């Protein structure tokens, strides 16, 4: 029998334990360490399950407090901070073995029309069909196979790996900032659930954002461990995470063992749909 290809939605599936209490499992992002993007996305799912369906998540602010494990469930505890006429606020604590490993605040809004609208122009980059796919077969590390559900194509090389010329030398303003641009999408059709697409984008954002701060230091001797410290996202306009999105990233600062990365997601039509900022710890071994 052929093994069923997993659905991306399965990665965000949670069990309802009690009112405002949910439980899930995460796959590896590093050996025996839960992938932070999945933890954050599952926390979003937990928050969204306690909110009226006419509200759309527009922002999240999360802190990675301890590494999560992949061999034990994670319990998500939701606090109902506020239910207003236009905005709803939730706080989520992800707990494993009695300790909080991730804390997140999320805000939801009832959609409304507005006359005020502007956005940054999307960068001019090659189309995704002209670029090499990042993921190949993952035979040596089967625990990473969930990542095969994601299609990533870099306009400047393979994100987070050595390239010729170096990715850090990607064209851009001479302002000293490392940059990388990648096209990303979930490589299967997702259900028409706005919350699922928002959570999927958080998962996608954690795949390359941290490596942007590391680009100038890849040639230095020794091993550099990258640990996510916090993660924030803003969702500006509706989108689908199973359509191609251009993730334009840069890193304006690194100091004191911390690196800051930021990125913007654009549709193929140039519409800015979301923004992300992440600070990571850079630890040389």
Which residues are the active-site residues? Answer: 206, 228, 278
Rounded Cα gap, residues 276 and 20, in angstroms:
27
Give 133's DSSP letter.
B
Residue with tokens 């001479």: 174
Q: Reduce the DSSP state of residue 240 to 3 states and report it.
A: coil
Rounded Cα gap, residues 261 and 95, in angstroms:
26
Give 112's DSSP letter.
-
* E-only strand ranges, 175-215: 179-186
CA–centroid distance for 254 within its chain: 20
Rounded Cα gap, residues 44 and 52, in angstroms:
14
Rounded Cα gap, residues 106 and 120, in angstroms:
24
Of the CA atoms within 13 Å of residue 10, those in its CB half-sphere come to 9
Buried residues in 241-251 as b, exposed as e (16+ CB within 10 A):
bbebbbbbbbb
CB atoms within 10 A of CB 212: 28
């Amino acid at each position: 029998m052929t093994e069923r290809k997993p659905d991306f939605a399965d990665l965000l599936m949670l069990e309802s334990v009690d009112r405002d209490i949910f439980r899930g499992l995460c796959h590896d992002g590093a050996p025996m360490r839960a992938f932070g993007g999945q933890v954050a996305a599952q926390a979003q799912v937990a928050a969204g399950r306690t909110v009226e369906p006419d509200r759309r998540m527009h922002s999240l602010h999360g802190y990675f407090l301890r590494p999560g494990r992949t061999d034990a469930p994670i319990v998500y505890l939701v606090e109902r901070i506020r239910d207003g006429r236009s905005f709803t606020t939730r706080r989520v604590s992800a707990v494993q073995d009695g300790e909080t490993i991730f804390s997140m605040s999320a805000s939801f809004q009832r959609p409304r029309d507005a006359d005020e609208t502007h956005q940054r122009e999307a960068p001019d980059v090659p189309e995704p069909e002209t670029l090499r796919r990042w993921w190949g077969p993952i035979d040596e590390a089967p625990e990473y196979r969930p990542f095969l559900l994601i299609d990533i194509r870099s306009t400047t090389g393979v994100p987070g790996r050595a390239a010729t010329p170096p990715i850090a030398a990607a064209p851009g303003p001479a302002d000293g900032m490392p940059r990388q641009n990648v096209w990303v999408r979930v490589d299967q059709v997702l259900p028409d659930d706005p919350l699922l697409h928002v959570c999927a984008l958080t998962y996608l954002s954690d795949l390359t954002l941290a490596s942007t701060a590391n680009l100038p230091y890849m040639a230095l001797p020794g091993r550099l461990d990258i640990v996510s410290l916090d993660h924030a996202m803003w969702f500006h306009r509706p989108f689908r995470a199973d359509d191609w999105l251009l993730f334009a990233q840069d890193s304006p600062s690194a100091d004191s063992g911390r690196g800051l990365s930021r990125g913007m997601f654009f549709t193929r039509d140039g519409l800015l749909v979301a923004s992300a900022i992440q600070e990571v710890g850079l630890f040389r071994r």
